Structure formats: C-alpha cells, structure tokens
Chain A
C-alpha cells in the first residue's frame, strides 16, 4: 500500500468519514445485541436470530472527525457461512464476537479471524469482543487467554456486555480511532488497480 498522505487534512474538525464494519461470530454470541445496544441503546433478552443480514448505521464523534459506521450484522450459523464474504467484502473494520461462557464460540472466533486475515481487505481493523461479560459466574474463556490471542494477532480486544452496555460504545470508539481518518490513500486519481477488481475500496472514506 502507498504511504498515507498525512500532509493535508482539509476540512478541519467537521469532516465525516464513513466506514463499513461487519460483525462476525458464532450463532447466539450476541452480535445483534451488541449492535442494537450501540445503535439504539436497547437490549432484548430474547433477541431473535438474524436471518440473512441486517444493516444499521451509527455515528460517533472523535476529536477531529465524525465517523459514520455502516454496520453489517450477519447470521452466525455455520450453514450460512457461505454468505459471509458478501458482507465482509470491502469492510474496513470487523468485530469478531464470542461468548465468554462458551468455549466453542471462542474457537469459532479464531476461525473468523483467520478467514478475515486471509480474505478480507488487508488493512482491515479487527476487534475481538468477549460478550456476555455480565455472566462472569459461567465464564469458561479466561480474559488473559483471549487477550494473549488478541495481542498475537494485533486485534483490539475488550470484554463486553450488551446487556449492561459495558464496553459496547468503547469498542466501537476504539475501532473508530484506529481507522485511517484522512484523505483517500493508495489511489492516484484516474488509475485503477486491475489486479484487484473486487477491491477498489478506498483506504479511507472521508468526504
């Protein structure tokens, strides 16, 4: 990738950047609940399963920019795995979610991380969320284990609770801060990288 142009930041503090973020993770770990908490401040104990995908937006304000997240919430079940690339293609950020009370879901999260490292945009910002942190009495995935894994793979990591809203805004905010907020990078006007026809996504999307 070309070096980021840090010389000019036109538009001052009011510029709005738009980023595509995708949520991935095993079924029933709380992907939709995290989004619902973040976007609407709501929590439903019996949030129905997501069929296909849902799309929501939310805006967060940083010191020098406004970041608009376009959030793709996906179905978690293995059977619908083949649809996932459609949703993470071109995503600039991903939150891989597992349930701290479910070991299997942590393993699935690792698989998702691997898949994203292999298939998603190379500069995607990835976060790992250990959800259901309010159910610490049923914990089977240790904080330290997940944190060590996240460090190895350069992931942002937080334990979250959509139910109590613990760390929910924080994890989105942390992602926003890691996203390339600046003029579009890597592309010179009028050129197209013909070798990557599917990935003509700009590194950043400030307007």
Chain B
C-alpha cells in the first residue's frame, strides 16, 4: 500500500480499529489540473477507518505504473511518473502528491462518469462533494468494479443527466426508487453492452436494497463518533464474516476485481414434498358427468399435477387439456366434434405442402429452405429413444409431417431448430399426427417467442433469470458478473427448449406437464433455472470457473440432474420469495405474479 495513504490515514485517526483497505484499484490517473494535458498515474482505494469510510487517491511511485491512454479526441497520452517527453517542462513530484485526496464517503454528493465514446478515450469519473468541491477527473485504465461502494452509500442515477450518479439518503424508500428507475431504462444487458461502466455504477444500487433492509438501518442513522466507530466495526464484521465464508479477495490488484456479497435474508427454504403422479382415477374425480372439468376445483387439479405430474397412461388425455387443444370447459361431445373438424383441417394443411413438387420447390426457395431444415432435424431428434429408432421408422415420418404442416400453419415463423425437440414428446404421447399437431400448436403458443428472429424474448428471459439469481443467490450473481457470465447465455439451451436436452425423455415429459399448469407462477421455468444454478454455486465458485468453464459445466449437467430434487428446490425458492414479497423489487414480484402486481 502507498505510503502517502498511510500518512494520510494516521493523521486522521488514532485507530482503535486498524484501518483497512478494502479495495485498491491501480491504473487510475488523475488529470494534473483542469487545463492541463498531463496525467499522473496512481491508485484509488476504499479504506475503512475508525472514523468512517474513505475514498482515497494517491499518485504511484512505481515506475512501471505508466500506461498509454487515449484522450476523448483520440490522442494518445503516456501516463507516467517519469518524464515522458524530453524538453517539455514537467511539474515536480510535489505537485503530484498534492493531488492526493482522502474523501469521507458521507461527504460525497455525486459523481459524474464518462464513458469512452465509440471506443475512444477511457472511462473517467469526477467526484463531487456535498460542499461543492469537485475533484480533478480520474481516468481508469480498466473499467473499474466499485461494487463495494454500495455497502456504504446508496447510488442513484440522476433523472436529468445520464452520466451523473447521485448519492442519496440511506432510506430503503429511495433505494426502491433507484431500482425501479433502473428498470425504466429498460434492458440492462443491452445497456451494459453499450455502456459497461455506467451500468455497473448504477447497477450497484440494486444490491444495496438488501443490505439496507437487513443490516445497515441501525448503523447509519447516528453521526456521533462512538456510533460511527460501532458502525464501521459492524460493517467490517459483516464483511469479514462474508469473507471467511466466501473467500473474498480483499486486496485484489487484478484490475480492481472484487466481489461484494450482500443478501436480502430470505426466510429459510420450506420443506417441500412432491406427490405421486395424478392417476386416471384422481383425474376423473375432478370431472363432471359431461366430461368438463369442475371449474371450482380446477386450481386444485392443476396443483395436483404441479406437485406430482401425470401418470403416463393418462397423459394422452390430460396433455390435450393442459395444452389448450381441449378446453377445460368442453364437453366430451363438443370436443369430439371439434377433434374431427381439426383433424380435417390438419389434413388440408398437410395436403398443401405435400402437393408441392420438386420442380415447384426449385422456384420456391423459402419453402425449400424450411423443408430442408425439417428434414435435417427430424433425422437427428431423439434417435436414441426406442420410439424413434431405426431408419425406416414411421414415427420419423409422422414427426416430419407434423413439423412440415406447422410450417404451412405458421409460415412466417417457419421451422426453427429446437421445434423438433418440442414436437417429439408430443408425438410419443399422442401416437396420432393430427392430435400431435394441435397439441404442438398449443405448445408453440407458449414458446413461439423463443424462436423469433430478433431473439429478444430469449434475452428478456435471460435478464429476468439474472435478476432472480441476484436475489436468491447474490454471491453467485456477483461471481457470474465478475466472470463475464451475467448475460446468462450459458442457460440458453435450458430456456430455449425447456430443459429438453437436460433430462431424460420421460423426465422431460414430467417437467413439461408441471410447467404447463402455470403453477405456482407463470415463470416457474426460470425458478427451475435458478434452483439448478443455486445448487451448482459451490462447484462454479470453488473451481474458479470462467466464462467457458461455466458453459461447459452447465452443458455437462445434462442427464445428471435429478428432476424431483430440482422441482423441490424451485418450489421452495418460490415460497421463499413469496414470503418476502413486500421486500422484493416490483419487477421481481411482477415476474412471479406475486404481491400487489399479482393478477388472479
């Protein structure tokens, strides 16, 4: 640690608790003066002292600390403690050390951050004090990770000025606002891609909510010295506890890479018991004499399916209802009539593509393209499942027919890889092309947005997943963020085909019928993702997995997951969140359809 800092700190306090540098980021240059083009290399630190928490910057004496920086107008400037240009008069090292500052975070009013424009320049921040003092801008060699600041202060992006981040009062209310403000700005992921620095800086305030609710309120109110000291001690204890548990690297010089772990204390996970699958007998007990489902008991029935799935022999009947092919309120005779007319409708659409000759295809590229894709994928869908084994298997033809007819039914969407994964279990259960087709139509109603060209819905789900992980397991969320994995794309396959590739064929059937109930919340699929990720936290973190290893590990979980455990954990997480709904940010309640936002 820099001696300058030591001197500064010893002047400021007779430490009862020794000062502790909780974060030090080297490669931070200060502009020598407003009108100067000279930059002084140094390091920024966050230091806990008995009298408070300080942000400090000091010049670096290290001759190796020099680096080349591009200014906003694209010029390259050498940041060096040694004279770079012969003949140009340099300021004395004295003027450098005068730049050093130590600022109590409670005196910080706001900071302005500037991102490189179109790759030119480098990220910089300017700290502004409550008394109006504005410090010289600090230029970062690498995008800093100052997440830790959020332990001490609450940050909020100015409504008027994008680059201005305000320090707001330590009130949970203000925090909640900050969270919703972030969301108004829309897709955090895409903003992060364009603007990593600003997003990181404002993103901190999200987490703060939870520290604030649980830990800080009693600590931040008082300003007298004794309680200040208690406050620091308590915060440090908190942090040290986290550190011990979680091996945080505190004195990280690796470009300021640093994890801070904060937690909304969710209630303990309740014990969840899964039930046996719903049998024909149980299913029939919910039926009225005309074959409709008793609407009074419909929720009860869905919960039964959610808790245990459906007995295999009942699937053929039950899936039709779960997928909306048969309405819950449709009588036997009504459905039979509809079924006949829909089967005719299926045959009509099937005849359309069947009648297109090879010669026509040559001048019908869009059709030929879709057909080629279907053929390629049918040949390699679930071929290890006995139902689809063998080269002349008629079930392959049936699957092909269903998918081709769907191309005619929804030509704009066409065929997209992944659809054959959705269709094959339906055919396996229905054993009838027309029924399979209409069930597939029902399933695509729920999932077609996954296949849209812009992939926006997948991105949205990834963002929602990240937000949920942030709440359920912030330590993992922070780890993923610091390992370039918080876009969650390693879960792409899970979300795209609803875990079809992760579980055995029969387990997939069970998982899907559970999800189709829409219980206990519409986004239960994402909670299943959260449950699995949560269970893999130690493996990911203890092995220090990076982006590639995380993807590989997640892919390799395929066929090694235990469905009942996963469902149990996901349901338990739902209950945890549901019990904490008054503390959850609004968008989370929205995903889960709980709290005030809930619609029946």
Contact = CB atoms under 8 A, between A and B. Distances in A.
Interface of A: 27-28, 45-49, 51-56, 70, 72, 75, 77, 79-80, 82-83, 86, 104, 189-192, 194-197
A195 B121 CA distance: 8
A194 B383 contact: no
Given A55-B548, A189-B64, A194-B70, A27 B383 contact: no
A79 B548 contact: no
Contact of A79 (B116, B381, B421, B453): B453
Q: Of A28, A51, A189, which is in contact with the most chain B CB atoms at under 10 Å from its CB?
A: A51
Interface stretch (B310-318, B431-439, B491-499, B581-589): B491-499
A53 B67 CA distance: 37
B383 A192 contact: no
Contact of A197 (B119, B377, B421, B490): B119
Given A79-B416, A79-B451, A53 B120 contact: no
Top 4 nearest A-B pairs (CB, nearest first) are: A194-B70, A52-B492, A46-B383, A28-B376
Contact of A46 (B68, B70, B380, B455): B380
A75 B418 CA distance: 11
Contacts of B421: 51
B380 A51 contact: no
B548 A77 contact: no
A55 B551 contact: yes
A33 to B, nearest CB: 10
Given A51-B496, A79-B451, A86-B489, 20 more contacts: A48-B383, A49-B376, A51-B418, A51-B497, A51-B501, A52-B490, A52-B493, A55-B548, A55-B551, A56-B552, A77-B373, A77-B416, A79-B417, A83-B489, A189-B64, A190-B67, A192-B67, A194-B68, A195-B74, A195-B119
Contacts of B489: 52, 83, 86
B122 interface: yes
Contacts of B379: 46
Given A192-B67, A194-B121, A54 B376 contact: no
Interface of B: 64-70, 74, 76, 116, 119-122, 141-142, 372-373, 376-377, 379-384, 416-418, 420-421, 451, 453-455, 489-490, 492-493, 496-497, 501, 548, 551-552, 555
A20 B365 CA distance: 36
Contact of A194 (B120, B551, B552): B120
A55 B66 CA distance: 37
15 contacts: A27-B377, A46-B384, A48-B383, A48-B501, A49-B380, A49-B381, A49-B418, A51-B496, A52-B496, A53-B492, A55-B551, A55-B555, A83-B492, A191-B67, A194-B116
Contacts of A28: 376-377, 380
A63 to B, nearest CB: 27
Nearest to B376: A28
A74 to B, nearest CB: 11
A79 B496 CA distance: 13
Contacts of B141: 192
Nearest to A45: B383
Nearest to B74: A195
